[in-house]
Amino acid sequence: MEETMIQTDKLSALGIMASSFAHEVNNPLATINVYAEDLIDRIQAGDEDLDEDEMEHYLRKIKENTERCKRITGNLLNFSRKNDWTEDHIHVREIIENSISLVEHQLKKRRIQLELHVDETLPAVNGDGLKLMQVIVNLINNAVDAMEPEGRLVVSASGSNGELVSIKVTDSGHGIPAEAMDKLFDPFFTTKPIGKGTGLGLSVCYGIIQQFGGNIIIDSKPSDGTTVEIQLPAESSLKAERDLEPGPMPAERP
Ligand code: ADP
């Protein structure tokens, strides 16, 4: 009975996802269609007012909307690529440093002050290192989007108890209103302007962190900034758990 319920929940979640996806992709597709049709009509009618600047304007609009579709489908592929997963021995410091180097240029451009605090001894974790990097970059990008230039970003990692590694991304941005907190992990929930957000970032992060066997916790107050914490089970705690599992029963003698 319970299994049927879970299956039904999954199916209805898939239905909601499919219809939101269709809706999200249909808007930019309709815009592409309008611009392309209008351009073809004007070319066929021999419109003499159609100069190079105007043609470029049409093509730019088509490109912008194509890129939006590409971002949406690209993010969506992450949901279905659950099997595309490598099991690495991850040094969290290295992953954080690599993630930061990917966004460094953007931080400099926005004059955002970065503080990095990583515990000297941090337990290793197991999972896909590139996917963890994708999560951290996503969280930093969200933090940057929420901040005015000259904001303050703190990235920290600790794991003193040896069981969990906690990675926190804290910003001094505009924060999240209470009514949005429940929707943050919903696919396509975004408060960003069209062309900027797809609303898939946090739901993809959630899926990845679940595969790590971890958690994401978001703490935010409007106008007081946001902290997103990822908790990952340390490699040693997973090993200890496996060692505790009962082994195969000894075969009975005839
Ligand atoms: P997107 O970034 O495309 O909007 P996400 O799923 O990554 O999609 O985020 C969903 C929404 O959560 C954002 O549109 C924003 O409203 C809110 N959000 C996420 N991170 C932060 C943050 N650090 N500060 C304020 N709001 C945030």
Q: Is the pLDDT confidence value at 3 over 90?
A: no
Distance CA 142, CA 199 (A): 11
Q: What is the radius of gyration, based on Cα positions, of the chain?
A: 23
Instruction: Please give the ipTM for the structure prediction.
Output: 0.99
| Å from CA of 66 to ligand 1 middle | 22
Strands 152-158 and 113-118 turn out to be: parallel
User: Does the beta carbon of 190 sit less than 6 angstroms from any atom of ligand 1?
Assistant: yes
Q: Is the pLDDT confidence value at 15 over 90?
A: no
pLDDT at 29: 92
Q: Which of 184, 198, 224 to mutate to test the pocket of ligand 1 (most atoms within 8 A of CB)?
A: 184
Q: Which residue's CA is the nearest one to ligand 1's atom 14?
A: 190
| Å from CA of 254 to ligand 1 middle | 63
User: Does the beta carbon of 173 sit less than 6 angstroms from any atom of ligand 1?
Assistant: yes
Whether the CB-CB separation of 168 and 115 falls below 8 Å is answered with no
Whether the CB-CB separation of 205 and 138 falls below 8 Å is answered with yes
Q: Which of 139, 202, 229 to mutate to test the pocket of ligand 1 (most atoms within 8 A of CB)?
A: 202
User: Does the beta carbon of 24 sit less than 6 angstroms from any atom of ligand 1?
Assistant: no
In tens, the pLDDT along 217-251 reads: 999 988 889 999 999 999 987 666 666 666 555 55
**Closest C-alpha among 69, 73, 17, 28 to residue 185:** 17
Whether the CB-CB separation of 217 and 197 falls below 8 Å is answered with no
Q: Which residue's CA is the nearest one to ligand 1's atom 13?
A: 190
User: Does the beta carbon of 199 sit less than 6 angstroms from any atom of ligand 1?
Assistant: yes
Distance CA 173, CA 225 (A): 4
Torsion of CA 34, 40, 41, 45, to 10 degrees: 160
Whether the CB-CB separation of 157 and 93 falls below 8 Å is answered with yes
In tens, the pLDDT along 182-202 reads: 999 988 889 988 767 888 899
Whether the CB-CB separation of 232 and 125 falls below 8 Å is answered with yes
Q: Which of 67, 142, 228 to mutate to test the pocket of ligand 1 (most atoms within 8 A of CB)?
A: 142
User: Does the beta carbon of 75 sit less than 6 angstroms from any atom of ligand 1?
Assistant: no
pLDDT at 78: 65
pLDDT at 12: 57
| Å from CA of 6 to ligand 1 middle | 28
Distance CA 110, CA 104 (A): 10
pTM given for the model: 0.76
Residues in the chain: 254
